[in-house]
A and B are shown apart, each in its own frame.
Chain A
Amino acid sequence: MAHGTRGPVPIPQETQSRNVVHEVLDLLDTKSPLTTSEDLASISQKDVKAALDRLASRSMVTYETKDSEQVLLTPEAENIVANGSHEYRVWVAVKDAGKVAIKELPNIVGADSAKVGSGNAFKNKWIKKDGDSLVPLAEEVKDTTREVLKNIQETKSLSDAKQLADLKKRKLVTVSKVISYVVSKGEKYAREIPVEVTDLTAEMLASGEWETANFKPYNFNALGAAQNAGALHPLMKVRQEFRNIFFNQGFVEMPTSHFVDSGFWNFDALFVPQQHPARDMQDTFFISDPPKADKPRPDPETEAQLDAMEAGSRRLFATDEKKETKPRDYEQYFKDIQRVHQEGAFGSIGYRYPWSEDECLRLVLRTHTTAVSTWVLHRLAEDPRPARYFSIDRVFRNETVDATHLAEFHQIEGVIADFGLTLGGLMRFLEDFFSKMGIEGLRFKPAYNPYTEPSMEIFGYHVGLGKWVEIGNSGMFRPEMLEPMGLPKDMRVYGFGLSLERPTMIKYGVSNIRELLGHKVDLDFIKNNAAVRLDKN
């Protein structure tokens, strides 16, 4: 997220900085360019910069920044410039007195000068020892140290690097960085800042004042005004991306508007045996009220809706060939499901267990939208034809809630029915499907699922995690599921599914599902999430 403060462009308000502005303008009148470190040395660099920026943004001045190094004297060095070097002071003392006892010297020139100065004065052959006294040797001396320092004081520089290092070592000078500005008149230079307006107003348009008005420049380092925007939920935005992928592939959306389904549609019709762990109280929400479903029967309202949705397709692919529709026999379907579980049928030996009608008609919160796919495929048996259906809707599992599990989530489900489908065709389809969210190179692992055979777990390589992760499930629906519906034996049906939440969490780095779905989601997460573009990173 961008950092910065929102609000109006700040106006420098202190009179001090107004004065600096005027000082710069005044000075430029007579001297352009000027160098701030020299001409405005008494004003702090911060204030100078503020004034220059203000003027430059109005094209009243232009300036260049110059970084330079300044050599500055330490207090000791300043003392040398004022009173001479230590050795000079020793020599003066000795010369003035003609002869000084070594013991006496600190009392005359001070302890520091006596210590440092006498050594240097010996080395320079200015004085010599005479017993335990000092006597002058030179009549005239040149105090080079003082001259060098004096020169530095004036020029604030020293070109001899070796000498500079020596002086630094002797703690006589320090080197500091100096930012200085070379300022010239700008194209709109004037002695005064003209009156500025902050915004264009209707009055200015009416009066024509806008033509001469001086507009205050914007501060582009701050954000613009906050928008009082509404937002769609990020998960719904991802859902829309998936819906678009399905629509682009010619899929028809399935009527999933019922949370409650019977054991029949949710399990039995899918060849899930009645003792399957998925039908445990631990995994599935059962309904206590209302108590029990009716046996499967026609649902004219939903039929009509799907008929209307598929009318376009029927018109488009209509041929002269007269097609007979085969009415569905719900009672036969129910019996055949019982048979295929209990005794075996349609080329299957079945599970061979005592099948219970009560168990079959128990109501559950649907554990998957495949319950709806089953209903839609049964409808397809009336006129078996190539078809594609999808749904994205809420499903329910009696899970213990944690960071990756909620009792509710969304299932994305796709179904493709056609004659002579191959297993490799499903892989190819899924490769294309997942490539639309930037997941390439899928691998498929044999898996077990009671209603698909073969069953394949879909693995995609996760670059961030550096490993293969399971991203969905797929397979071809079992003949024990399709043939009782009345679908012909050579019609095969792909099914694939994934949760809406998991790819969203992987894609957007959400580690806790409760931050994505449910009432605990933070409104900032909803408001500030970027638009969802699954094909972009």
Chain B
Amino acid sequence: MPTIAVDKAALFKALEREYTTKEFDELCFEFGIELDEDTSESKKPEDQAQPPQLKIEIPANRYDMLCFEGIAMNLRVFLEKQKLPSWKLSPPKFGQLETLTIKPETEQIRRYCSGVILRGIEFTQERYDSFIALQDKLHQNLARQRTLVSIGTHDLDTIKGPFTYEALPPEQIEFIPLNQTKKMNGRELMEFYEKDKHLGRYLHIIRDSPVYPVIYDANRTVLSLPPIINGDHSKITLNTKNVFIEITALDKTKVEIVNHMLVAMFGPYAESIEAINIVSDHNNESRQAPDLEPRKMQAEIDYLNQVTGLNMSPEEIARYLERMGFSVAPSSTDKSLLDVSVPINRADVLHQADIMEDFAIAYGFNKLPRVYPNKSAAVAAPLPMNKLSDIVRFEAATAGWNEVMPLILCSHDENFAWLNRKDDGKTAIKLANPKTAEYQIVRTSLLPGLLKTINSNRHHAVPIKIFEVSEVGFIDLSQERKTRNERHFAAAIMGKTSGFEQVHGLLDRVMQMLKSAFITSEEGLKNTELEGYWIEELDGRCRSGSSALSQLTGTDPTFLKGHSAAIKLNIGGKNHTIGVFGILHPSVLHKFELPYPVSTLEINLEVFL
């Protein structure tokens, strides 16, 4: 959520009263913004050095509150100090609209452009700063770091229409960038700003394109090189009277949203708002922009009342909605409907649900009747796998083991190399954009987490006995999401001796609780009808019999040779390899920095469902 800092005294003056911090906090709470900080209560020297500010968090979809003007206006309307202004276009003073022609080449890089002219604007230092800050906030939020939309503002009296929006090879574009003295071409400009803290992060948007977007006036003066920088020639100052705003974008909805926001916030400081004639025949986007007519929507009276649990007349609803900036009239055609005019600043209103929410806010969320409609009856049910897991968890804990909860993401090495396991490239789910090497893949085994947990707890008295029942993930191309989870149970013991019998004993105990009898491997292999589990030593010889986890036959290099065993299960007439236990290989201990012998057990619980 963006945070906007506004001058406290100026805002309270605009709201026509003083508020205590608590009172203002209440007002914000009711309206749905959040007072983050009142710097008059701050002890920091940098805060005390300047006039008190209110730092206000704005919901991400309220682009019309990203500056002082918007916050003041919306709160004044909410407090019924004023009605929302109705922004109107004025005809041009000198007969003809300014024209901006969009060239087809722009399709290759940034295809939409719009604009507006604010004539006779009265800047003060505060207004000027706010104007610049709003553009910055819009660039950061709605425009997604200028990728989707970018704004350029110019002193109209320094340039001459008609204007053109073109896309040219970087070498052909030459101008003096804002606040610079040297003329440079597009290529040089990229190098010049490479290291710039502020602009450097936007260069990637166009750098590798064969053509760069550029806006010219009638004299081939460069207005701007969107979305990077304006030209120095047309820069606005405190004395600028007539502002030409151009907006380029990848998205034709957002280009007009930004146009609306700028007009809604700063139009009131101007004598007149003047449209621009956009010529863009190649993509049927020729038009006069902006269109300041409120959007017409309809809302069902019953819907507004039902969802809020209120019973208001259309007139009452209209009054509440006016406090949120809507103008509302009963529909002339259908009595059950309201005609709602959505002003240009409310780009967030998409559906009558949004109007309903604003009705509820104006009425007061916390005043709404809190009545629970007691009609839905339901029957609870746990997820079978969670029920099974709970059984195993309780049994492991009652057997004296401690439950731990390591993370699911881990490094590739922890999951493979450190366990002496090989990645076949078809098993582990890999992350595209982790911030650290700690999170490279979704674990395919619970062992790395258990061993890291023991490592963090090395200072504890041994034996350390821990377990986890949780999920691992695998690539599975047969699934819609190309992956699947598997519920595992794993345990590890570190002590002065290996603890091999301990993990074996825990396995026996859990199996017993899951009603699986111990049988010998001869019995299990001979008689598939006989249900139960048996243990097969992993000694390098290949065993016959099917195995769901084929890597578990033969030797398992995770373990000390001759000290590991596969766990086999006959259940429902099927023969499964469900897991493995053994004494960890000393090289594994070394990697996880474990000072004493460790034995582990890991089984797949899915077959017991």
Residues of chain A whose beta carbon lies under 8 Å from any beta carbon of chain B: 228-233, 235-236, 240, 243, 246-262, 275, 277, 281, 285-297, 299, 305, 308-310, 312-313, 316-317, 344, 346-354, 363, 365, 386-388, 394, 396, 398, 400-401, 406-408, 416-418, 420-425, 427-429, 431-432, 443-448, 450, 453-456, 476, 478-480, 492, 517-524, 526-527
Contacts and interface: CB of A to CB of B under 8 A. Distances in A.
Given A354-B251, A365-B431, A425 B371 contact: yes
B110 interface: no
A293 B481 contact: yes
B482 interface: yes
Contacts of B432: 285-288
A286 B597 CA distance: 38
B144 interface: yes
B79 interface: no
Given A286-B433, A312-B379, A257 B485 contact: yes
20 contacts: A232-B393, A233-B405, A252-B379, A275-B148, A288-B432, A294-B481, A295-B480, A348-B350, A365-B431, A422-B371, A425-B309, A432-B372, A443-B366, A445-B29, A447-B59, A454-B353, A454-B365, A479-B351, A521-B456, A527-B402
Given A231-B397, A425-B370, A519-B406, A290 B378 contact: no
Max count, chain B CB within 10 A of own CB: residue among A277, A349, A446: A446
Given A286-B432, A453-B357, A517-B405, A523 B485 contact: no
Nearest to B379: A313
B429 A398 contact: no
A394 B487 CA distance: 13
Interface in B535-564: none
A277 B60 contact: yes
Contact of B372 (A254, A350, A425, A476): A425
Contact of B380 (A235, A251, A294, A480): A251
B526 interface: no
A519 B398 contact: no
Given A233-B404, A294-B480, A423-B307, A260 B429 contact: yes
A285 B433 contact: yes
Contacts of A480: 350-351
Given A277-B60, A398-B434, A520-B456, A230 B400 contact: yes
Given A230-B398, A285-B432, 5 more contacts: A258-B481, A288-B432, A294-B480, A423-B365, A453-B351
Nearest to A233: B403
Given A243-B382, A523-B457, A444 B480 contact: no
Interface string B478-511: 0011111101000000000000000000000000
Contact of B407 (A236, A400, A456, A517): A517
A232 B402 CA distance: 6
Interface residues of B, number: 99
B481 A261 contact: yes
Given A231-B402, A521-B453, A259 B442 contact: yes
Contacts of B457: 522-523
Contacts of B460: 523-524
A257 B309 CA distance: 37
B485 A259 contact: yes
B471 A259 contact: yes
Contacts of A261: 481
Contacts of A295: 480
A294 B34 CA distance: 41
B402 A259 contact: no
B430 A350 contact: no
Interface stretch (B36-44, B258-266, B383-391): B383-391
A431 to B, nearest CB: 7
B404 A262 contact: no
Nearest to A258: B485
A421 B309 CA distance: 9
Nearest to A390: B380
Interface string B348-379: 10111110110011000110111111011111
B370 A431 contact: yes
A359 B329 CA distance: 41
Given A288-B431, A293-B480, A407 B370 contact: no
Contact of A260 (B350, B384, B481): B481
Contacts of B353: 453-454, 476, 478-479
Contact of B484 (A249, A258, A348, A448): A258
A197 to B, nearest CB: 31
A316 B287 CA distance: 62
B482 A292 contact: yes
Contact of B431 (A228, A257, A285): A285
Contacts of A230: 396-403, 465
Max count, chain B CB within 10 A of own CB: residue among A317, A349, A400: A349
A456 B251 contact: no
B79 to A, nearest CB: 16
Max count, chain A CB within 10 A of own CB: residue among B148, B429, B460: B429
A445 B34 contact: yes
A261 B482 CA distance: 9
Contact of B386 (A253, A277, A352): A253
B145 to A, nearest CB: 9
B234 to A, nearest CB: 30
Contacts of B401: 230
Max count, chain B CB within 10 A of own CB: residue among A248, A418, A428, A453: A453
B376 A519 contact: no
B403 A363 contact: no
A407 B436 CA distance: 10
Interface in B101-158: 141, 144, 148
Max count, chain A CB within 10 A of own CB: residue among B353, B361, B371, B408: B353
